[in-house]
Structures are given as structure tokens and as C-alpha cells.
């Protein structure tokens, strides 16, 4: 099972939980104060998301094997 990270809105405590993916978006009780803590994206997931944004902004119709100015394998 993957590990998910949660931050408590009341005491700001950060904790990790081993959960099934179907439970990932559910609130988890804070171990300190039992408030419902929201899931936060891990550093790893944040990096992956930035990577996607970078790829799509660079993509822009090029084939990925060339710079944005075009090449033989793309139709720019
Ligand atoms: Zn708390």
C-alpha cells in the first residue's frame, strides 16, 4: 500500500499513513488532536506534477525529439 501524507489544519502536525488508494482522498484523524487532517501531496508527487507541466509547455506541437523550431519527424 502507498504512503500518504496528511497535515492537520488545527495543530499543523504532519503525519504519514499507509492506506489503500481508495482511502487516499479521505480525511485522516490527526494523531495529536484527532481533528480531520487533509491529505497533502508528497514532495515526490509535486515534482512529478511540475515535470508534466514542463513537458507540456515545451511540447507545443513539436515531436519531443527536436526543439520547438521543428524537425523531419514533426509537421511544423
Ligand atoms: Zn492535529
Cα–Cα distance measured from residue 49 to residue 56, given in angstroms and rounded to the nearest whole number: 11
Which sign, positive or negative, has the C-alpha torsion 33, 36, 38, 43?
A: positive
Would residue 69 count as lying in a domain? no
CA of 70 to the centre of ligand 1 (A): 53
50, 52, 58, 62 alpha-carbon torsion, rounded to 10°: 180
Residues spanned by the domain of 24: 3-59
Closest residue by Cα to residue 37 from 6, 4, 63: 6
Q: How many domains does the chain have?
A: 1
Ligand 1 is an ion; residues with CB less than 5 A from it: 8, 10-11, 13, 30, 32-33, 35
Write down the pTM of the prediction: 0.54
Would residue 76 count as lying in a domain? no
For residue 76, name the pLDDT band (cuts at 50, 70, 90): low
Would residue 33 count as lying in a domain? yes
Would residue 70 count as lying in a domain? no
Beta bridge partners of 7: 14, 38
List pLDDT tens digits, range 3-38.
999 999 999 999 999 999 999 989 999 999 999 999
CA of 7 to the centre of ligand 1 (A): 8
Amino acid at each position: 500500500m502507498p504512503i500518504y501524507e496528511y497535515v492537520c489544519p488545527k495543530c499543523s502536525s504532519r503525519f504519514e499513513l499507509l492506506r489503500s488508494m481508495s482511502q487516499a482522498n479521505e480525511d485522516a484523524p490527526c494523531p495529536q488532536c484527532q481533528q480531520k487532517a487533509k491529505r497533502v501531496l508528497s514532495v515526490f508527487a509535486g515534482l512529478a506534477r511540475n515535470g508534466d507541466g514542463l513537458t507540456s509547455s515545451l511540447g507545443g506541437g513539436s515531436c519531443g525529439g527536436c526543439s520547438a523550431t521543428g524537425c523531419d519527424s514533426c509537421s511544423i
